[in-house]
Chains A and B, each alone.
Chain A
Amino acid sequence: MSTSHLMLGLLSVGPQHGYDLKRAHDERLPQAKPLAFGQVYATLGRLERDGLVEQAGQDRDGGPDRTTYAITAAGREKLGEWLAAVEPPAPYVNSVLFAKVVVSLLASGATAATDYLVAQRAAHTTRMRELTAVKTTRESTAGDIVAADYAIAHLDADLRWLQATLLRITDLHREVTA
Chain B
Amino acid sequence: MTALLQGIGLQRSYGPTPALRGIDFEIGAGEIVAVTGPSGCGKSTLLHCLAGILRVDAGEVRYRDQDLGLWSEANRSKLRRTEFGVLFQFGQLVPELTAAENVALPLLLAGSGRREARKAATLWLGRFGVGDLADQLPGKMSGGQQQRCAVARALVTEPKVLFADEPTGALDALTGEQVLTEIVHIAREQGASVVLVTHDAQIAAYADREITLRDGVVDRSGLGLEIGS
Query: Does any Cβ of A come within 8 Å of B70's Cβ?
Result: no
Given A136-B185, A166-B223, A167-B227, A156 and B177 touching (CB < 8 A)? Answer: no
Contact in complex: B185, A118 (CB < 8 Å): no
Question: Which B residues touch A156, using CB under 8 A?
Answer: 201-202
CA separation between A167 and B202, bound complex, in Å? 20
CA separation between A131 and B177, bound complex, in Å? 13
Given A118-B221, A135-B177, A167-B227, A125 and B201 touching (CB < 8 A)? Answer: yes
Query: Does any Cβ of B come within 8 Å of A128's Cβ?
Result: yes
CB closest chain-B residue, reference A159? B201
CB closest chain-A residue, reference B201? A159
Query: Does any Cβ of A come within 8 Å of B225's Cβ?
Result: yes
CA separation between A125 and B177, bound complex, in Å? 18
CA separation between A162 and B224, bound complex, in Å? 10
Would you give the 0/1 interface string for A100-131, flagging 1 where the beta carbon is closer than 8 Å to chain B? Answer: 00000000000000000011011001001101
Would you give the 0/1 interface string for A152-175, flagging 1 where the beta carbon is closer than 8 Å to chain B? Answer: 100010011011101100000000
Query: Does any Cβ of A come within 8 Å of B63's Cβ?
Result: no
Query: Does any Cβ of A come within 8 Å of B137's Cβ?
Result: no
Contact in complex: A121, B222 (CB < 8 Å): yes
Contact in complex: A136, B222 (CB < 8 Å): no
Please count how many residues in chain A sit with their CB below 8 Å of the partner chain's CB atoms. 21
- Enumerate chain A interface residues (CB-CB to B < 8 A): 118-119, 121-122, 125, 128-129, 131-132, 135-136, 138, 152, 156, 159-160, 162-164, 166-167
- Enumerate chain B interface residues (CB-CB to A < 8 A): 177, 180-181, 184-185, 201-202, 204-208, 210, 221-227
Contact in complex: A138, B185 (CB < 8 Å): yes
Contact in complex: A160, B202 (CB < 8 Å): no
CB distance from B182 to the nearest CB of A (A): 9
Q: Report 17 cross-chain contacts, Cβ distance below 8 Å, ordered by A residue.
A: A118-B222, A119-B222, A121-B224, A125-B224, A128-B201, A128-B202, A135-B181, A136-B181, A138-B185, A152-B205, A156-B201, A162-B224, A163-B225, A163-B227, A166-B223, A166-B224, A167-B227
CA separation between A125 and B212, bound complex, in Å? 13
CA separation between A160 and B200, bound complex, in Å? 10
CA separation between A129 and B201, bound complex, in Å? 10
Question: Which B residues touch A132, using CB under 8 A?
Answer: 202, 205-206
Q: What would 10 more interface pairs be, CB under 8 Å, given A122-B222, A167-B226?
A: A118-B221, A121-B223, A125-B224, A128-B202, A129-B207, A136-B184, A160-B201, A160-B227, A163-B225, A163-B227
